[in-house]
């Protein structure tokens, strides 16, 4: 039975948080090390016996979802307020993001700080890792989804590759939440139709051909958007019927495991719904203060705002 739309909203936000929290246990480790510890998805998942804590990825995605649920669109000032209200530097923010958020928090000119830190803008994956709620909320119109994802990226990520990474993840989430039967060719055709840069086009064309996990490696596992966004998309497209295999595909690559699993998990959750997330992971997701229960409520609030527009 296919998941209801409410289940898909829940699956997307919780799927992001669980991917982030499980992946966070392995951040910056090598593929060889992780593959040496666990033979398969089942061993990786069942290794979790206590609370898993999410990182900056989920914290910022919560900010995006709250802002959309409250205002029905991305308004930069409101979004920044939401980022600041949720900001805990100890959750592992990128160094550019930290400088920008510190400035926002102190009421300083954060755009000047961002420009000084990375002239030309950040091309980190920080805008892509938090964008899933935008894809859900604007799932009916790819053009609005593209524009709103760009707006959600701008406070921290002005570089075209940082912005386009967020746009591609939003489109992937929207598409995954819209289809009943996943068709890989249709999925990649849709992403390629809206892809602007030759850099992402080349990666998406490679991703569309992938038949097994070892072929994911050339797509990258780094903190730059170009080295992680299409990887996450491909992790989902390889195993679209399994949430846990999708995040395992991401984690077994090593590197930026929290973020790649967060993005892949949000797409899988949007397609499969919250019931596809194994109990052992869902039940061990941290609870307070904005943990499992809060994220489920936030997903319902976003879903209500979406249906009542
Ligand atoms: P960001 O904007 O600081 O970018 C992340 C990194 O990408 C930077 O620190 C640089 O190394 C590099 N980078 C980005 N733009 C440029 C540029 N124009 N020139 C040179 N280098 C550049 O932060 P973000 O929000 O994009 O980062 C997201 C990542 O940070 C995610 O992986 C997230 O999990 C987190 N993260 C945290 C840790 C940690 O310390 N625990 C480690 C890696 C990543
Ligand atoms: Mg993180
Ligand atoms: Mg401060
Ligand atoms: Mg990361």
Interface confidence (ipTM) of the complex: 0.96
Q: How many A from CA of 19 to the centre of ligand 2? A: 10
pLDDT number for residue 1: 66
Q: Which pLDDT value is given to residue 288?
A: 83
CB of residue 55 inside a 6 A radius of ligand 1 = yes
* Ligand closest to the CA atom of residue 250: 4
Q: Counting atoms of ligand 1 from 1, which one is nearest the CA of 121?
A: 18
Could you name the CATH architecture of 5-307?
A: Orthogonal Bundle (1.10)
CB of 259 closer than 6 angstroms to any ligand 1 atom: yes
What pLDDT does 52 receive? 98
Q: What secondary structure does DSSP assign to the chain, as a single string?
A: -PPPHHHHHHHHHHHHHHHHHHHHTTTT--HHHHHHH-SSHHHHHHT--S-B---HHHHHHHHHHHHHHHHSS--HHHHHHHHHHH--GGGT--HHHHHHHHHHHTT--HHHHHHHHSTT---BTHHHHT-HHHHHHTTT-HHHHHHHHHHHHTTT--SHHHHHHHHHHHHHHHHHHH-SS--HHHHHHHHHHH---HHHHHHHHHHTT--SGGGGGGG--SSBGGGTHHHHHHHHHHSTT-HHHHHHHHHTT-SSHHHHHHHHHHHHHHHH-GGGS-HHHHTTB--TTTSHHHHHHHHHHHHHHHHT-
Residue of the nearest CA to atom 40 in ligand 1?
92
pLDDT of residue 2: 83
- Below-70 pLDDT ranges, the chain: 1
Provide the percentage of residues in the chain whose pLDDT is more than 90. 99
> Does the beta carbon of 120 lie inside 6 Å of ligand 1?
yes
């Amino acid at each position: 039975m296919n998941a209801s739309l409410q289940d898909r909203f829940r699956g997307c936000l919780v799927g992001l948080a669980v991917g982030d929290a499980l992946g966070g246990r392995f951040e910056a480790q090598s593929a060889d090390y992780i593959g040496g510890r666990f033979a398969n998805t089942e061993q990786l998942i069942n290794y979790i016996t206590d609370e898993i804590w999410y990182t900056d990825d989920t914290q910022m995605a919560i900010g995006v979802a709250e802002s959309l649920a409250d205002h029905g669109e991305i308004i930069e000032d409101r979004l920044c307020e939401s980022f600041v209200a949720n900001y805990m530097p100890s959750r592992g923010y990128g160094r550019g993001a930290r400088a920008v958020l510190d400035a926002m928090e102190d009421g300083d000119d954060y755009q000047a700080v961002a420009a000084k830190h990375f002239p030309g803008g950040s091309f980190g994956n920080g805008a892509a890792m938090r964008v899933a709620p935008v894809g859900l909320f604007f799932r009916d119109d790819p053009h609005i989804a593209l524009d709103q994802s760009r707006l959600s990226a701008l406070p921290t990520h002005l570089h075209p590759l940082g912005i386009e990474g967020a746009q591609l993840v939003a489109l992937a989430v929207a598409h995954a939440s819209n289809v009943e039967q996943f068709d890989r060719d249709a999925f990649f055709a849709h992403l390629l139709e809206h892809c602007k840069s030759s850099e992402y086009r080349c990666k998406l064309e490679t991703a569309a051909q992938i038949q097994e996990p070892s072929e994911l490696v050339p797509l990258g596992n780094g903190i730059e958007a170009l080295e992680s966004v299409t990887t996450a998309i491909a992790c989902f497209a390889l195993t679209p019927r399994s949430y846990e295999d999708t995040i395992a595909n991401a984690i077994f690559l090593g590197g930026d495991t929290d973020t790649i699993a967060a993005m892949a998990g949000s797409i899988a959750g949007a397609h499969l719904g919250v019931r596809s997330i194994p109990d052992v992971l869902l039940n061990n997701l941290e609870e307070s203060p904005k943990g499992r229960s809060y994220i489920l409520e936030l997903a319902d609030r976003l879903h209500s705002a979406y249906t009542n527009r």
